[in-house]
Structure 1
Amino acid sequence: MALVTFDLFSALVDARAGGSAALAELAAGRGWPVSGTELYDDWDARNKASQRDEPAWVPFAEHCRRALAATCAARGLDADPVADTAALLATLPDWPLWPDVQAALVEVARTHRVGVLSNVDDDLFARTRVAPLVEPGAVLTSERLHAYKPHPELYRRAVAAGVGLHVPASARDTRGALEAGLAVVRVVRPGHALDPDGPRPEHEVDDLGALPALLREVSGAGT
């Protein structure tokens, strides 16, 4: 069966909800006068920039630490980046799936191998609610591929590993996959919009429940 991969932190997990809740708890414990959502948005932007700009591969957890250290320094917050990042990442099992995920992955798995293509470390992925829903051998992480989205090398290595189609939600993942020549069906998620200067996917779904029927119709994508 053909391999379909999904992005972890936008298509499957509501990372902003989960991360904001975790950072709100951290802020309350530290006495920081800032909301969890503000912290998450700042940290997430710095995290993505770190992944994009670091020329050598380093673990995803290290990008998270650097981003949190920079966020707290910019806001003048008294922080322990190592301990605070560990506390944030320890909450990954609580980060919620989007409501349509579980049923859709079960249905897609009837006709395709179901995997993940994500900027994450293997041990962190194992803590998420997605881990039990996908084929272990179809989990393609930045740790395994030694590249980060949106660099084309990650997508080229994914294709070499057997990925026939990728399901992203974020602008950078959609653009990166398309520009690398990977077949894409984008799922529309709140807070994510296409890059106005980038290519547009031929197929989009508003709910992953529509994906199985679409996959049966898609041609020329290894499915």
Structure 2
Amino acid sequence: MADIRDIEVVVFDVLGTLVDEPGGLRTAIRDAIPASGDALVDESLSLWQRHREREERRIGQGQRPYAGTETIDAEAARRVADHARLTDPAAIARLATASQRLPPWDDSVAALDRLARHFAVLGLSNAGRTALLRLSAHAGLRWHQALSAETVLAYKPAPEVYQLAIDAAGCPPERVLMVAAHAWDLRAARARGMRTAYVRRPGGDPPTSSDDFDRRFDRLGDLVTALTTT
């Protein structure tokens, strides 16, 4: 990082970076379909993830009007239910809200607490406003402000989502650090002038050799130490 002391605001991606999205969804699917084996759970998780990625992409390409994550997750839950022959309405309804009960990674809560003593800390998520509120409460994520892409009726990596964070930060983008476990997320943030830090997480999207992010970390605590001891 060119000069860490220039950072005023730290912005975190949430899904996958601070909470274990694949693990949480896998648990919810297994709970909804108790007799399912690993193969069916894996198939169902893949079905869910493909549906979400496809629909967010369609919205970004103007092929579908904006729909929030609660709508898309309900669609995904229905697809999983049909695939697994799940018919219990209560189980399907609970599965549809699984993304609001994702567990934090074991270092997320402590890292946010440490960092918030030194910097303004924002969450920036594709999760809808209500879903993000409930997810933050469930996982124990404490923010100075949590921003939902729903505010601008778009999904990352749309540039207006990152501009939302820059506007909330109230400082030049080069003084705002975007932290994510997804290289695609950081590429879009960098294109808006934000500083970037990659944190490795299971199931994340690692950088390629051509990615020019400011810093890369194996653990979230290493990032916090780097920011707070300079």
TM-score range with shorter-chain normalisation? 0.7 to 0.9
Asked if residue 38 in structure 1 is aligned to residue 25 in structure 2, the reply is no
- Among 141, 151, 155, the alignment partner of 1:148 is 155
> Residue 224 of structure 2 aligns with which residue?
212
> Residue 4 of structure 2 aligns with which residue?
none
> Residue 54 of structure 2 aligns with which residue?
49
SS of 1:10 mapped into structure 2: coil
- Structure 1 pair 48–195 and aligned structure 2 pair: CA distance change class (3 A): farther
- Give runs of ≥4 in structure 1 deviating > 6 Å: none
Counterpart Cα distance in 1 of 2:87 and 2:12: 33
Deviation at 1:174, TM superposition (A): 2.3
Counterpart Cα distance in 2 of 1:197 and 1:86: 43
Structure 1 unmatched ranges of 5 or more: 219-223
- Among 192, 206, 209, the alignment partner of 1:180 is 192
TM-score (norm 1): 0.81
- Among 63, 66, 69, the alignment partner of 1:60 is 69
Asked if residue 113 in structure 1 is aligned to residue 120 in structure 2, the reply is yes
Deviation at 1:10, TM superposition (A): 1.0
Deviation at 1:157, TM superposition (A): 2.3
* Residues 122-154 of structure 1: per-residue CA shift (max 9 Å, x gap): 21122223455112xx21102223221111221
Deviation at 1:25, TM superposition (A): 1.5
Counterpart Cα distance in 1 of 2:209 and 2:66: 27
2:101/2:134 contact within 8 Å kept: no
Deviation at 1:198, TM superposition (A): 6.6
Deviation at 1:205, TM superposition (A): 1.1
* Residues 41-85 of structure 1: per-residue CA shift (max 9 Å, x gap): 321122022112113321111122233444556x4x435698665
Q: Which amino acid aligns with 2:215?
A: H
Identity %: 26
> Residue 14 of structure 2 aligns with which residue?
8
Counterpart Cα distance in 1 of 2:208 and 2:217: 18
Q: Which amino acid aligns with 2:15?
A: F
SS of 1:12 mapped into structure 2: coil
Deviation at 1:99, TM superposition (A): 1.1
- Among 154, 159, 167, the alignment partner of 1:160 is 167
Deviation at 1:168, TM superposition (A): 0.8
Counterpart Cα distance in 2 of 1:195 and 1:42: 25
Q: Which amino acid aligns with 2:206?
A: L
> Residue 221 of structure 1 aligns with which residue?
none
Deviation at 1:179, TM superposition (A): 2.8
- Structure 1 pair 52–92 and aligned structure 2 pair: CA distance change class (3 A): closer
* Residues 76-112 of structure 1: per-residue CA shift (max 9 Å, x gap): x435698665312444564221111111111101111
Aligned residues: 213
Counterpart Cα distance in 1 of 2:198 and 2:92: 30
SS of 2:85 mapped into structure 1: coil
Deviation at 1:217, TM superposition (A): 7.6
- Structure 1 pair 23–146 and aligned structure 2 pair: CA distance change class (3 A): same
Q: Tell me the C-alpha RMSD between the 2 structures.
A: 3.0
> Residue 193 of structure 1 aligns with which residue?
205
> Residue 28 of structure 2 aligns with which residue?
22
Counterpart Cα distance in 1 of 2:158 and 2:68: 16
* Residues 180-206 of structure 1: per-residue CA shift (max 9 Å, x gap): 332111111012233549734121111
Moved more, 208-217 or 115-124: 208-217
Counterpart Cα distance in 2 of 1:133 and 1:33: 34
